[in-house]
């Protein structure tokens, strides 16, 4: 169903809403809404064009909202009509928040509901939409977690795909969840080393900040405690272009002189809080570890594995290093919105019966032309695991580069998409 259409300079946009089963195995039961935004170049708006589906990173974040004809989208629109999908539970797709989950009767019901929001059902939604809206094969583009979803797509519904493009998102299929986090922690250590090499004075500044928040009741504007371990999570930005600078400029604004002395700056606390989006995007916390699980429980893997890396421990390292994208059980106490769904999160972390997200046998027989940009210095997706899997998949061509960080698609999307399209088309 088209719910709205409008134009912005150079683009024609149509908003779509689809009713899909919560559980595709039980289509007669509960339905949820999935939102998608169709984007066409103004000059091709009335022309029949092949389709490209975009699956963004996450999990648990809404798809980007087009503001201009630029970046990767500008290049894609030269050849495709693009569909920007709000993956189930995000954006305008029956969102998962502490408010919406409160409508379910108890924590067990919430956990069962959440079990339907992984890549397998995102792909089922995509196939539902493709059949209803497009009626022919389409090309898919996946960034980060979106790339993980594409490997699920190639595993279980390759008949729907004309080609596949992946940026920073080849999953560690066959790896244990603990090993994934061991590899990721090592990457985070390296990014910390590079950060403090660039800004050596920030170590002493961070130590001062940590000492202040430990001895004073420092809160965010929303009234949540701004703890040392919460501030360490700002390291999630170290894997993106400009992330070093964003952190450095935040740290230099930490203190302000007042009539009674020196205090932590309101600008600092507000900015730090805005850089950590866990309250507004709970799927990221609830299912982040589950994206690596097939027939195993995550059981708060990042928290358990962290003990092997004392550099992140405030009691053994001063100042403790920044952490990365990992999620931890203590977050369910310190983030007020997550605290409201704490019991459900604990059930999800202990859940063992996760179904398969990938079919390696099918992937080893892949016939869909696929091209992937893999970033050698990616802090979030381990290069070694990516190449191990890629070697097993026919018609998957790798572009391995250290030119970009994980945010390559955002930073230089036009060039990256142009190259990936040339790879799947045989021009490179």
DSSP string over 139-163? EEEEETHHHHHHHHHHHH-GGGEEE
Instruction: Name the residue among 111, 60, 61, 118 with its Cα closest to residue 356.
Output: 118
pLDDT, tens digit (0-9, with 9 covering 90-100), for 132-158: 999 999 999 999 999 999 999 999 999
Which of 402, 395, 359, 416 has the alpha carbon at shortest distance from 151? 359
Examine the pLDDT at 2 and tell me if it is beyond 80.
Answer: no
Max Cα-Cα span within the chain: 70
For residue 114, what pLDDT band results from cuts at 50, 70 and 90? very high
Question: Is 406 a catalytic site residue?
Answer: yes
Whether residue 111 sits in one domain with residue 40: yes
pLDDT digits (tens, 9 = 90+) for 173-225: 999 999 999 999 999 999 999 999 999 999 999 999 999 999 999 999 989 99
Per-residue pLDDT of 229-240, as tens digits, reads: 999 999 999 999
Helix (H, G, I), strand (E, B) or coil at 110: helix
Q: Which ranges of 323-404 does DSSP label H, i.e. alpha helix?
A: 331-334, 336-339, 342-350, 360-363, 383-390
Residues 48 and 160 in one domain: yes
Say if residue 293's pLDDT is above 90: yes
What is the pLDDT at residue 318? 84
353-361 average pLDDT score: 96
pLDDT of residue 303: 97
156 plus 19 within the same structural domain: yes
pTM tops 0.85, yes or no: yes
Does residue 246 sit in the same domain as residue 305? yes
Number of domains in the chain: 2
Q: Is the pLDDT of residue 316 over 90?
A: no
Tokens 């403090």 correspond to: 196
Query: CATH no. for residue 54?
Result: 3.40.50.1820
Indicate the residue among 288, 322, 350 that finishes a domain: 350
**179 assigned to active site:** no
**Boundary residue ending a domain (323, 350, 377):** 350
In this structure, how many other beta carbons lie within 10 angstroms of the beta carbon of residue 277?
A: 13
- The 10s digit of each residue's pLDDT in 53-62 is 999 999 999 9
The mean pLDDT value for 94-116 works out to 96
Q: What percentage of the chain exceeds 70 in pLDDT?
A: 100
Q: How far is 129 from 138, CA to CA, in rounded Å? A: 11
What are the φ/ψ torsions at residue 165 (nearest 5 degrees)? -125, 135
**C-alpha R_g of the chain:** 22
Asked if pLDDT for residue 260 goes beyond 90, the answer is no
By the 8 A CB rule, do 425 and 173 touch?
A: no
Distance CA 236, CA 326 (A): 8
Phi, psi of 11 (to 5 degrees): -130, 145
Task: Name the active-site residue from 260, 307, 353, 384.
Answer: 353
Based on the domain organization, do 169 and 289 belong to the same domain? no
Is-contact 166 372, C-beta < 8 A?
yes
384 catalytic? Reply is no
Predicted pLDDT at 3: 78
Give mean pLDDT, residues 317-340: 95
> Does one domain contain both 219 and 162?
no
Is there a single domain that holds both residue 166 and residue 203? no
Same domain for 112 and 229, yes or no, is no
236 and 335 assigned to the same domain: yes
Residues 198 and 225 reside in one and the same domain? yes
Residue with tokens 């070694």: 384
Pair type for strands 11-21 and 31-41:
antiparallel
C-alpha 400/C-alpha 53 separation (Å) is: 23
Catalytic residue among 93, 144, 155, 301, which? Answer: 144
Task: Examine the pLDDT at 306 and tell me if it is beyond 80.
Answer: yes
Chain centroid to Cα 304, Å, comes to 22
Domain that holds residue 133: 2-173+358-424
Residues 167 and 197 in one domain: no
Tokens of 382: 């381990």
Q: Are residues 111 and 54 in the same domain?
A: yes
> Of the residues 350, 369, 402, which one is the last residue of a structural domain?
350
30 SS3 class: coil
3-state secondary structure of 276: coil
What pLDDT is recorded for position 275? 96
């Amino acid at each position: 169903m088209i719910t709205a259409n409008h134009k912005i300079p150079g683009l024609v946009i149509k908003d779509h809403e689809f009713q899909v089963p919560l559980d595709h195995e039980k289509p007669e039961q509960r339905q949820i809404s999935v939102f998608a935004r169709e984007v066409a170049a103004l000059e091709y708006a009335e022309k029949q064009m092949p389709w490209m589906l975009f699956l963004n990173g996450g999990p648990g974040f809404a798809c980007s909202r087009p503001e201009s004809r630029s970046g990767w989208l500008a290049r894609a629109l030269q050849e495709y009509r693009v569909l920007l999908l709000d993956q189930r539970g995000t954006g305008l797709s029956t969102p998962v928040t502490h408010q919406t989950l409160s409508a379910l009767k108890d924590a067990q019901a919430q956990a069962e509901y959440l079990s339907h929001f992984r890549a397998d059902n995102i792909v089922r939604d995509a196939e539902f939409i493709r059949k209803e809206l497009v009626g022919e094969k389409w090309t898919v583009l996946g960034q980060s977690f979106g790339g993980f979803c594409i490997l699920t797509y190639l595993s279980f519904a390759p008949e729907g795909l004309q080609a596949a493009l992946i940026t920073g998102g080849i999953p560690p299929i066959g790896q244990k969840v603990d090993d994934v986090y061991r590899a990721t922690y090592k990457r985070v250590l390296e990014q910390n080393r590079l950060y403090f090499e660039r800004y050596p004075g920030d170590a002493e500044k961070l130590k001062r900040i940590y000492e202040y928040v430990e001895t004073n009741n420092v809160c965010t504007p929303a009234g949540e405690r701004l703890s040392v371990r919460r501030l360490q999570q700002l390291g999630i930005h170290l894997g993106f272009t400009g992330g070093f600078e964003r952190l450095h400029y935040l740290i230099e604004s930490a203190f302000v002189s007042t009539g009674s002395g020196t205090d932590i700056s309101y600008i600092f606390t507000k900015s730090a809080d805005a850089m950590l989006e866990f309250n507004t995007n709970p799927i990221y916390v609830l299912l982040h570890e589950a994206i690596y699980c097939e027939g195993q429980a995550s059981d708060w893997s990042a928290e358990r594995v962290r003990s092997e890396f004392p550099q992140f421990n405030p009691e053994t390292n001063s100042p403790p290093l920044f952490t990365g994208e990992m999620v931890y059980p203590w977050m369910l106490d310190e983030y007020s919105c997550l605290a409201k769904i704490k019991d459900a999160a604990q059930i999800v972390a202990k859940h063992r019966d996760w179904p398969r997200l990938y079919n390696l046998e099918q992937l080893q027989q892949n016939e869909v032309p696929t091209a992937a940009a893999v970033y050698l210095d990616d802090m979030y997706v381990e290069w070694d695991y990516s190449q191990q899997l890629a070697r097993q998949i026919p018609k998957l061509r790798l572009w391995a580069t250290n030119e970009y960080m994980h945010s390559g698609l955002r930073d230089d999307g036009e060039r990256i998409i142009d190259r990936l399209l040339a790879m799947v088309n045989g021009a490179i």
